[in-house]
A and B are shown apart, each in its own frame.
Chain A
């Protein structure tokens, strides 16, 4: 995977990829499993950073996304038109984004992390035509017991320095049966 591809994927997520490159990139990702996985990681990572409260993917979320891929989701004429919103706005409350694009039509399939019905949005920029729809799996890995214990330790320690009302929230989160942790790993090892 080249840096150029990474930059294109990042630009796509930021809504900054030139329209004439979107379709090309999406088609390339649709043929390359590694690219799809990486893009899925980027999507979920981005959501975790952007979404208020972060993302909590329910068990089986990745499987549902994969199933959607297997079913070969095609928007076609069923794509509803919604008021134009920026791609970032589309992504904000949801955990996975599937991109459908052509030169004239970009559609975004949003798969709800809580198991709800997927939503399909479209932004029309010209004459309607059947879009290519590609669903992208979400990557990431489950935390190990040791990592969970480390996180629990951090929560316990941090709770001691929070205000009383916040401490109760922090410690309640540490007590949760299924913390609903969504752990996301970037491909790049070092932060800026």
Chain B
């Protein structure tokens, strides 16, 4: 459904500040406050998600219980698709295909700790500025501009509620400062408590095909280490693992790259491509993907970075034949 942002009615139901942080001053502190709020507050909101000429209304419900965050993201326009992130799994309901993709949740191991947090390193790649903004939803906001210093990454423009640091509006911007994707809350409630029932999907998945990750360590996994010959400036390989991807019949090598803010996943799937022969480029909002064939494998890089960045990473990886392929997290730097 196409819908302009201007048509979206702004209605703030309530916006409490149960966990107001100490006042942030610098852009980096505001960025950290925002990250903390997104992970630790209970909230329920409606936002419009706009990419290109397409705009959809989404609902997000975020619940924290015992330090674990769970959330439900729902498309309210048309498809009724939902993603529910429970304590153990991520469920992707696709009623338009009568399919549910199920992926084990993987945010509490060493892997995530290997991901760099916003910090001084970011200054080498981005400029961060914070300024006073006009009111949004009747709230005072700070505008946080995160501008890339080169063309390998996107920038972000964030309108943060001064009291809670929740992003009421966010834009992913290209090197020319133009938004390639935007999310704009039209209603946001920060609550003391979200009930488990509010995370239940509206979809009746009876009779749907449930596509789950199979047994790990199946024999047709990519049978070698894969490493990049070169990575775009500022990115580094932060983790590798053997990944079961819902909808993909065999285990794939999964390499995760990050510059501290943006991340790119590279999936290496054994076998030749079905359908159109790669290389091919795919774009969905600010998420770009590039697939190519390397040594009998389909290599797909995907991330919220410009198309050239995923292309460079996808075409850079190669197998290290003589090494076995234990699936373990890795934090070693790449050969850039």
Contacts and interface: CB of A to CB of B under 8 A. Distances in A.
Interface of A: 45, 48-56, 58, 114, 141, 143-147, 149-166, 168-186, 188-192
Contacts of B35: 163-165
18 contacts: A48-B281, A53-B286, A54-B281, A145-B97, A154-B245, A154-B265, A158-B263, A159-B90, A161-B115, A170-B304, A173-B284, A173-B285, A173-B286, A175-B82, A176-B79, A181-B282, A181-B284, A182-B282
A14 B300 CA distance: 26
Question: Which of A164, A169, A184: most chain B CB closer than 10 A?
Answer: A169
Contact of B300 (A154, A172, A174, A192): A154
B275 A143 contact: yes
Given A141-B276, A182-B282, A172 B49 contact: yes
A177 B56 contact: yes
A146 B274 contact: yes
A183 B289 CA distance: 10
Nearest to B151: A52
Contact of A53 (B77, B263, B279, B285): B285
B136 interface: no
Nearest to B180: A53
Given A145-B97, A154-B302, A161 B263 contact: yes
Contacts of A177: 1, 56, 75, 77-79, 81, 96
Contacts of B258: 161
Contact of A162 (B73, B79, B263): B263
B266 to A, nearest CB: 10
B265 A158 contact: yes
Contact of B183 (A56, A143, A169, A180): A169
Interface in B281-318: 281-290, 292-294, 300, 302-304, 306-308, 311, 314-315
A165 B37 CA distance: 11
A141 B278 CA distance: 12
B13 interface: no
CB-CB nearest 10 A-B residue pairs: A54-B283, A52-B174, A53-B180, A177-B78, A191-B292, A153-B247, A48-B281, A164-B38, A173-B285, A158-B265
A78 to B, nearest CB: 27
A153 B251 CA distance: 12
A162 B83 contact: no
Contacts of B282: 48, 54, 143, 151, 181-184
A51 B246 CA distance: 30
A153 B156 contact: no
B178 interface: yes
Contact of A153 (B112, B245, B284): B245
Contacts of A114: 52-53
Given A54-B281, A165-B35, A165-B158, 15 more contacts: A48-B281, A54-B288, A56-B51, A114-B53, A145-B97, A146-B275, A149-B101, A151-B302, A158-B265, A159-B83, A164-B35, A175-B74, A177-B79, A190-B293, A191-B279
Interface stretch (B19-27, B102-110, B126-134, B187-195): B102-110
Question: Which of B56, B90, B307: most chain A CB closer than 10 A?
Answer: B307
B212 to A, nearest CB: 11
A37 to B, nearest CB: 14
Contacts of B263: 158, 161-163, 166
Given A158-B265, A191-B279, A54 B307 contact: yes
A149 B128 CA distance: 37
A188 B315 CA distance: 14
B252 to A, nearest CB: 9
A152 B285 contact: no
Contacts of B304: 162, 166, 169-170
